[in-house]
């Protein structure tokens, strides 16, 4: 999830976790009450109108996900801090709402909202026209958000702290993309040489660099689908001729026990990693996006990855969890000074404690292997439930931060 994303035609990522059957399975495995609490960062009873109401200083917009996309498709609100409340009205076709800039970058989003769930995200918006995007399995509905009023200044101590946070996070992301590119080069070389043992050894560690910045990587058209789509993604829809990236190679190695046909996939993956590394430095980032993306990273663990479907062939999921946690923790560490300056010291301490608890939980499964963790297939349902509990707690608390920092500017 997640952070800033550019429009992607059909939304490959959401097909990974849409539909009542998958969510029903999660209910059975982990408990309905806990799943509802964890996956909805902000549960609320929401209406259909998006009318820019205000409570506690921030304006509020409310949307409902339907089979056709978002309702309403058009809305307006005054400039300043805005909280977007999104609820799934009972559809299995649409599971997220994105707010995009006029140039196509996703500024904020709430995803993984299957039927019965609600969630929110907050942004500080300047006057202008924005795009409301609700990708569904059938189409991509594009609406319009008009932000009225005069531009508000972004100066002062908090703004300086936030700009510093963005610079720090950008440095972190660029480091991860460079490491990803270097790792993919080694991965592609092993595949070209026919060394399946080495390619398997590299798979999890190399992918971890992508997972650590996945929301940012997803910002570029088509890259997320090419790099990280699974066989059941809308862009693939079971057609292996349209399936590229890590997971197709994973399937060949662990299910087919072969590298036959993997070299073209590895070469394309290397080209995509090079393109990502080149484009990341010029990607616009905003402070709220750091936190909104972190929440989505953690929510994806609870909503999707906890079932083991992400790395379904190799069972290297715990490496993904660790990378997702790293990305969320870095973003929080960088914005923490601003959060504490708003007076939310208790919240900051709570989040730090809950993120540390997730790390302690994951440390229990560390192993002296190239992957660094036990295979996910070795975990019991009780183990998975405990991980989901800790991650869910952190995501719930972290979801409060974006609004705090936008109001505190």
Choose between 183 and 32: higher pLDDT.
183
Cβ distance 46 to 113 under 8 Å? no
Lowest mean pLDDT among 31-35, 154-158, 283-287, 356-360: 31-35
Residue 28, class by beta-carbon neighbours within 10 Å (0-12 exposed, 13-18 middle, 19+ buried)?
exposed
Query: What are the backbone dihedrals phi and psi of residue 122, each rounded to the nearest 5 degrees, phi first?
Result: -125, 145
386 or 119, greater pLDDT: 386
CATH number of the domain to which 212 belongs: 1.20.1420.20
Q: Does residue 196 lie within any of the structural domains?
A: yes
pLDDT at 56 over 60: no
Task: Name the domain count of the chain.
Answer: 1
Per-residue pLDDT tens over the stretch 316-367: 999 999 999 999 999 999 999 989 988 899 999 999 999 999 999 999 999 9
407 token code pair: 């109001």
Domain-embedded: residue 361: no
Q: Is the alpha carbon torsion for 170, 171, 173, 178 positive or negative?
A: positive
Nearest to 65 by CA among 8, 11, 21: 11
Is 318 among the domain residues? Answer: no
Does residue 255 belong to any structural domain of this protein? yes
pLDDT of residue 221: 55
**Is 272 within a domain?**
yes
As a whole number, mean pLDDT of residues 105-132 equals 83
Domain of residue 255: give its range. 173-281
- The answer as to whether 248 is a domain residue is yes
pLDDT the model gives residue 317:
97
> What confidence tens digit (pLDDT) does each residue in 207-239 have?
999 999 987 877 765 788 899 989 988 778 889
The residues with which 131 forms a beta bridge, in sequence order, are: 100, 144
Burial class (CB in 10 A: 0-12, 13-18, 19+), 170: middle
Q: What is the pLDDT of residue 383?
A: 97
155 found inside a domain: no
Most confident of 15-19, 104-108, 387-391: 387-391
Q: How confident is the model at residue 266 (pLDDT cuts 50, 70, 90)?
A: very high
Could you identify the residue written with the tokens 């019991």? 380
For the purposes of burial, counting CB atoms within 10 Å of the CB of 306, is it exposed (0-12), middle (13-18) or buried (19 or more)?
buried
Q: Is residue 246 predicted with pLDDT exceeding 50? A: yes
The pLDDT of residue 250 is above 90: yes
345 phi, psi to nearest 5 deg: -70, -40
């Amino acid at each position: 999830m997640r952070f800033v994303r550019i429009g992607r035609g059909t939304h490959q990522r959401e097909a990974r976790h849409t539909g009542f059957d998958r969510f029903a399975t999660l209910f059975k495995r982990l408990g309905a009450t806990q799943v509802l609490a964890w996956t909805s960062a902000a549960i609320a009873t929401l209406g259909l109108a998006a009318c820019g109401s205000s409570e506690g200083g921030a304006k509020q917009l409310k949307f409902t996900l339907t089979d056709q996309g978002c309702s309403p498709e058009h809305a307006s609100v005054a400039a300043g801090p805005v909280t977007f409340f999104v609820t799934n009205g009972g559809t299995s076709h649409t599971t997220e709402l994105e707010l995009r800039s006029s140039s196509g970058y996703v500024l904020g989003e709430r995803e993984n909202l299957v039927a019965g769930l609600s969630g929110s995200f907050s942004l500080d918006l300047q006057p202008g026209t924005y795009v409301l995007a609700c990708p569904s399995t059938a189409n991509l509905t594009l609406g319009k958000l008009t932000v009225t009023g005069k531009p508000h200044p972004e100066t002062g101590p908090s703004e300086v702290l936030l700009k510093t946070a963005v610079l720090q996070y950008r440095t972190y992301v660029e480091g991860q993309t460079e490491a990803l590119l270097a790792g993919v080069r080694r991965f592609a070389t092993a595949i070209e040489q026919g060394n399946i043992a080495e390619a398997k050894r590299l798979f999890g560690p190399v992918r971890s660099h992508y997972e650590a910045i996945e929301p940012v990587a997803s910002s570029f058209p088509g890259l997320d689908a090419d790099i990280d789509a699974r066989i059941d993604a809308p862009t693939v829809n079971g057609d292996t001729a349209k399936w590229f990236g890590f997971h197709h190679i994973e399937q060949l190695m662990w299910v087919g026990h072969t590298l036959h046909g993997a070299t073209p996939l590895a070469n394309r993956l290397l080209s995509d990693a090079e393109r990502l590394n080149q484009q990341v430095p010029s990607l616009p980032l905003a402070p709220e996006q750091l936190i909104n993306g972190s929440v989505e990273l953690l929510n994806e663990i609870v909503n999707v990855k906890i079932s083991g479907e992400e790395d379904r062939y190799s069972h290297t999921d715990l490496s993904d969890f660790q990378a997702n946690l790293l990305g969320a923790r870095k973003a929080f560490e960088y914005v923490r000074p601003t959060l504490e300056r708003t007076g939310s010291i208790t919240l900051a301490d709570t989040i730090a404690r809950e993120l540390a608890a997730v790390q302690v939980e994951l440390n229990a499964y560390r192993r002296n292997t190239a992957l660094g963790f036990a295979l996910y297939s070795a975990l019991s349902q009780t183990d998975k439930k405990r991980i989901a509990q800790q991650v869910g707690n952190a995501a719930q608390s972290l979801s409060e931060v974006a609004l705090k920092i936008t109001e505190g500017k």
